[in-house]
Amino acid sequence: MAVLAKRSMALCLLFAIALDLCFFYTSAELERFDHPAKSDGSLSFLVVGDWGRRGAFNQSQVASQMGRIGEKLDIDFVVSTGDNFYDNGLTSEQDTNFEESFTKIYTAKSLQKQWGNAEAQLSPLLRKIDSRWLCLRSFIVNSELVDILFVDTTPFVKAYFTKTEGHTYDWRGIHPRKEYIANLLKDVESSLKESTAKWKIVVGHHAIRSIGHHGNTKELTKQLLPILQANNVNFYMNGHDHCLEHISDADSPIQFLTSGAGSKAWKGDFKDANSEVVKFFYDGQGFMSVQLTKIDAKIAFYDVSGKILHIWRTMKQLHQSV
Ligand SMILES: *[C@@H]1O[C@H](CO)[C@@H](O)[C@H](O)[C@H]1NC(C)=O
């Protein structure tokens, strides 16, 4: 992890310099960060999203339960599914929201690990304030056990470019959008094809399938999902909808897991909760844990008091080709 931290610091700096100099995505491979499994061959992590509200809306309660469960599961890192700082991201590197919503909230010992983020808060200065922060747009955390691809899904959503509704977006490095997306999809596809890991996980901010407020993201269903289905991806994880949910795919073994309940929730706005593919839906706050070994994967969802709401376990199919 020390190596990882040093490398990513250098990469962040390089990336920031690159952003200022060139305004297009060069189809280099996705940056890779090694994170080997534990000596017993297992690896575990927590997933939380949509959290940064300076502790309000139960953010602190969720954080403290993450600390407890993180300790119990001896987690290796934390995955954030994005929407990290409300209401409009960080205004600058000096924005105290970073410390007030992150550093001072996720204080438990077990959470002092690397945080990988599915949404870009790119400034290398943030890593200096808190070295847990891994700050690239799209990248891979990999080991023999699992490849986790973080995909920056924001540029896929067309409405962000047409109706901005008072939100501000940082599109540096994204234009021209079509080429950026095409290159990113190509990289995702080749990374998945080359992957020899036992488990393949893709993390984005926006849902491919969700019955929550925002629902499915049609651009992702159309462009990203076919690549995931064709390459034996086991899990797609996201935030965006402020709820916890587990939805299966009718056409492939992929499981859609939403963990976007790190603070404000209880919107009361969802549909089709009785649909056959919906294994679990919870409108309130909480988080998710993932435990992986060579032979099985265990997913659990927790509420604000740390109570387990839903557990799902799957065995590795031995005939599955990798
Ligand atoms: C905090 O969590 C409790 C328990 O789920 C819930 O009743 C309460 O409404 C939550 N508070 C907010 C502000 O969401």
Three-state SS string over the chain comes to CHHHHHHHHHHHHHHHHHHHHCCCCCCCCCEEEECCCCCCCCEEEEEECCCCCCCCCCHHHHHHHHHHHHHHHCCCEEEECCCCCCCCCCCCCCCCHHHHHHHCCCCCHHHCCCEEECCCCCCHHHHHHCCCEECCCCEEEECCCEEEEECCCHHHCCHHHHCCCCCCCCCCCCCCHHHHHHHHHHHHHHHHHHCCCCEEEEECCCCCCCCCCCCCCHHHHHHCHHHHHHCCCCEEEECCCCCEEEEECCCCCCEEEEECCCCCCCCCCCCCCCCCCEEEEECCCEEEEEEECCCEEEEEEEECCCCEEEEEEEECCCCCCC
Model confidence band, residue 166 (pLDDT cutoffs 50, 70, 90): low
Q: Which of 61, 301, 304 to mutate to test the pocket of ligand 1 (most atoms within 8 A of CB)?
A: 304
Least confident of 19-33, 223-237, 278-292: 19-33
Overall average pLDDT of the 171-187 stretch = 87
Least confident of 4-13, 50-59, 109-118, 228-237: 4-13
- What is residue 237's predicted lDDT score, i.e. its pLDDT? 98
Mean pLDDT comparison of 83-97, 101-115, 118-132, 236-250, highest-scoring range: 236-250
* Inter-residue contact 141 to 122 (CB < 8 Å): no
Residues belonging to the binding site are 50, 83, 86, 205, 240, 242
Q: Is the pLDDT of residue 80 over 70?
A: yes
Q: Whose CA is nearest to atom 14 of ligand 1?
A: 57
CA atoms within 13 A on the CB side of 314: 13
Name the residue among 290, 246, 234, 269 with its Cα closest to residue 70: 290
- What is residue 12's predicted lDDT score, i.e. its pLDDT? 35
For each of the domains in the chain, give its residue range(s) and CATH number, in order of start.
12-321 (3.60.21.10)
214 is catalytic: yes
Q: Which atom of ligand 1 is nearest to the CA of 265?
A: 14
- What is residue 316's predicted lDDT score, i.e. its pLDDT? 85
- What whole-number distance in Å separates Cα of residue 254 and Cα of residue 273? 19
Q: Is the pLDDT of residue 17 over 50?
A: no
Model confidence band, residue 164 (pLDDT cutoffs 50, 70, 90): low
Model confidence band, residue 135 (pLDDT cutoffs 50, 70, 90): low
Higher pLDDT, 241 or 88: 241
- With a 6 Å cutoff on the Cβ, whether 306 touches ligand 1 is no
Q: Is the pLDDT of residue 310 over 70?
A: yes
Higher pLDDT, 303 or 99: 303
What is the distance in A from the centroid of ligand 1 to the CA of 58?
A: 6
Q: Is the pLDDT of residue 93 over 50?
A: yes
